[in-house]
Amino acid sequence: MTLSEDIKTRTNILDLVHQYVPDLKQTGRTYKARCPFHQEATPSFVVFPDRQTWRCFGACATGGDVFTFIMKIEGIDFPAALRNLGNQVGIEVIDQKFDNAPKQSQIQLINLQAQRFFREELNSDRGSFARDYLLGRGVSEESTALFGLGYSPVNGNELVQYLENAGFQNELLVNAGLAASSEGAKPRALFRGRLTFPIHNESGGLIGFGARSLDETMPKYLNTPQTQEFDKSGTLYGLDKAKSGINGDGKRVVIVEGYMDVIAAHQAGFRNVVASMGTALTTKQVELALIHADTVILAMDADKAGQTSMYRSLVDLAQQNTVMTNNKQRRKAFMQKSPAFEIFKVARITTGKDPDELIRTEPLLWSKTINEAPSLADFLLMEAPKYLEGLSDFDGDQVISALAQVVFASNWKVQDKYVMQLAQIVGTTPERLESNLAKLTETRVQADYTVKRSTAAASPFKSTVGDPLEEHALAIAAQFPEFWGKIANLEVDRIVNPENRAVLSAFKQNDTIEHALESLNGQAAEQLVTLIELALPEMDLKQRSDAFDSCIKRLEIRFYREIKQQEETLLESIEENDFLSMPNLDANERLKDLYSSGT
């Protein structure tokens, strides 16, 4: 747990807010008062104790956690807020510069000493084999120096002795992940006979190492195990060197798989490239990338196993509309930037070459591949037929369910195209696909999938069960008062999800979002809070109004298509020419009206 997480966990948001807002009063599961940040007669400032968050539904239209509250109320920056709250909960925050030169930990210091050893070994006679390997891979001396590449000798005692002579205790060697020891035995170096890659955090601190075997020793790659400083799932290799390149390339970051891919890219002048270090893309890595970039382009290995692994990772990614994050000030939500995961693109490497080889041999093709990378939604739909081959019915249903969430969370301007593509993949009509969306996302497939995944390795991306079309319309109404009257005109039977139905009913029966929240309880209340906090795409009023109207129209179309489908099923069981039902005629006429109206 980080220092800020520890302080946040120990700080009760109600106690904190009450210091500055003494008239805070409980209303059901929330607390309300007049907003401390602007003048108002009617209370619109709400605290959610269950989530430890706050929000102003009035003129401020903003919210956050304990840190954002203290920063706003005191007019201070994050380091000052950290110290302020730390003092309140009894945690000492040592004064330090929160810039690119943080105070170095003992682990970083011993890593620096180990790095000197590895560099000396690379340049020694024993390092000639490693130098030849780098030469054969086209790595220049400048790149070798820039990325600090080194060599760990086969003898596992030499690094240990070197660090002992430098004054470091064996316990620290083990804690830093540089050595391992069995009970009663002297530690031995973890990396032996390998090329070493120092791994830095985004501020440049040396937090760990990667190491590649130079013979047939397996595994081919080893990393520092998780330590106090190094968490592979939350680190992007090369980010410390790529930050300026990302800014200089239109805020785009390219994520590849391996160390050599990054080195080859930077050497060729593509300085916005970082690596996930062979791991499936994680929430932490995505959040880290989005601190610096507005567009994330994924370019993984070209081999079939690599492509399959990437597709599986992207299916997980596609089941989450927003990045799971507590620090909303620092990390950006997917949907806050652009709908339908359009900030994500996937470079389709069709030459059979890995990024490293493609960059070295055909840099212009690499550049073209990156610049023409399709969006995540486009890529998933294009590759779905190939990926679905050979999957079990269960796994195939899970993938289709994820793709449906992508389609119906996508930009309304391209949604029709995606619906047609997905319908073709599934082998149904667009009408049936749209009318069955709720069933697709809430049936046994999702329930079984949750159980199955809970007993297996946890996915880095939490799956979302719900109806994106309903939730998008309701979230707009919940967050923007000017849509309150419009949503009240929507009939409740147009909504399928039971919690969403309860929310819409509350909208119809109350005149403000606060009153609606007070009238709900249980899962319905939690759903409304979720809708209030749902990150929506950035739009002007006209774009938002168009998107809202499109959602309402699609909900109406879905409703009447379902009626029509039910009637057609019924008519099939009745003798021909018996009758033509009036509901079916009404549904047909209403659908004609909806299709003939503007989007």
Domain layout of the chain by residue ranges: 3-89, 106-230, 239-380, 388-454, 468-596
Which pLDDT belongs to residue 534? 79
CA 59 to chain centre: 30
295-298 and 252-256 strand pairing: parallel
Tokens 């804690």 belong to residue = 175
Residue 271: is its pLDDT beyond 50?
Answer: yes
Which pLDDT belongs to residue 334? 36
**Which helix (H) or strand (E) covers residue 444, if one does?**
helix 444-454
Per-residue buried b or exposed e for 173-183, using 16+ beta carbons within 10 Å of the residue's own CB = bbbbbbbeeee
Decide whether 3-89 matches 106-230 in CATH topology.
no
CB 68 within 8 A of CB 16: no
The Cα angle at residue 473 between residues 384 and 341, in degrees rounded to 5:
35
Of 124-128, 276-280, 331-335, 380-384, the poorest mean pLDDT is in 331-335
Q: Is 55 helix (H, G, I), strand (E, B) or coil?
A: strand
Percent of the chain's residues with pLDDT above 90:
28
327, two tokens: 């620090």
The model's pTM is 0.58
CB 227 within 8 A of CB 175: yes
- Mark out the alpha helices in 353-429 (DSSP H runs): 355-361, 363-371, 376-388, 393-408, 415-426
Residues with Cβ within 8 Å of 492's Cβ and at least 6 positions away in sequence, in order, are 501, 504, 505, 508
Instruction: Say if residue 219 is preceded by a cis peptide, omega within 30 of 0.
Output: yes
With CA atoms as reference, report the closest residue to 48 among 66, 36, 34: 66
With CA atoms as reference, report the closest residue to 252 among 237, 263, 266, 242: 242
Which pLDDT belongs to residue 272? 96
Residues with Cβ within 8 Å of 197's Cβ and at least 6 positions away in sequence, in order, are 147, 148, 149, 209, 210, 211, 212, 237, 259
| Protein fold of 468-596 | DNAb Helicase; Chain A (1.10.860)
Per-residue buried b or exposed e for 224-238, using 16+ beta carbons within 10 Å of the residue's own CB = beebebbebeebbbb
Tokens 């379902």 belong to residue = 562
Of 158-172, 284-298, 355-369, the poorest mean pLDDT is in 284-298
What whole-number distance in Å separates Cα of residue 527 and Cα of residue 531?
A: 6
Q: Is 270 helix (H, G, I), strand (E, B) or coil?
A: coil
State pLDDT tens for residues 443-468.
433 333 333 333 332 322 223 345 77
Question: 433 pLDDT band (50/70/90 cuts)?
Answer: confident
The listed range with the strongest mean pLDDT (223-237, 419-433, 552-566) is 223-237
**φ, ψ (nearest 5 deg) of residue 50:** -60, -35
What whole-number distance in Å separates Cα of residue 404 and Cα of residue 63?
A: 31
Question: Tell me: domain 106-230, CATH 3.90.980.10, correct?
Answer: yes
Average pLDDT, the chain: 79
**Which helix (H) or strand (E) covers residue 222, if one does?**
strand 221-223
Q: Work out the average pLDDT over 117-124.
A: 96
Task: Quote the crossing angle between the two packed helices 376-388 and 304-318, to the nearest 10°.
Answer: 120
For the domain made up of 239-380, the CATH class stated in words is alpha beta
With CA atoms as reference, report the closest residue to 436 among 558, 526, 333: 558
Question: 591 pLDDT band (50/70/90 cuts)?
Answer: low
Task: Quote the crossing angle between the two packed helices 78-89 and 66-74, to the nearest 10°.
Answer: 110
Q: Which residue has the higher pLDDT, 119 or 417?
A: 119
Q: Is 13 helix (H, G, I), strand (E, B) or coil?
A: helix
Question: Which residue type does 181 have?
Answer: S
Residue 50: is its pLDDT beyond 50?
Answer: yes
Question: 178 pLDDT band (50/70/90 cuts)?
Answer: very high
What whole-number distance in Å separates Cα of residue 349 and Cα of residue 357?
A: 11
Question: Which residue type does 397 have?
Answer: D
Residue 580: is its pLDDT beyond 50?
Answer: no
CB 227 within 8 A of CB 183: no
What whole-number distance in Å separates Cα of residue 522 and Cα of residue 540?
A: 34
What whole-number distance in Å separates Cα of residue 577 and Cα of residue 201?
A: 74
Question: Tell me: domain 3-89, CATH 3.90.580.10, correct?
Answer: yes
Q: Is 183 helix (H, G, I), strand (E, B) or coil?
A: coil
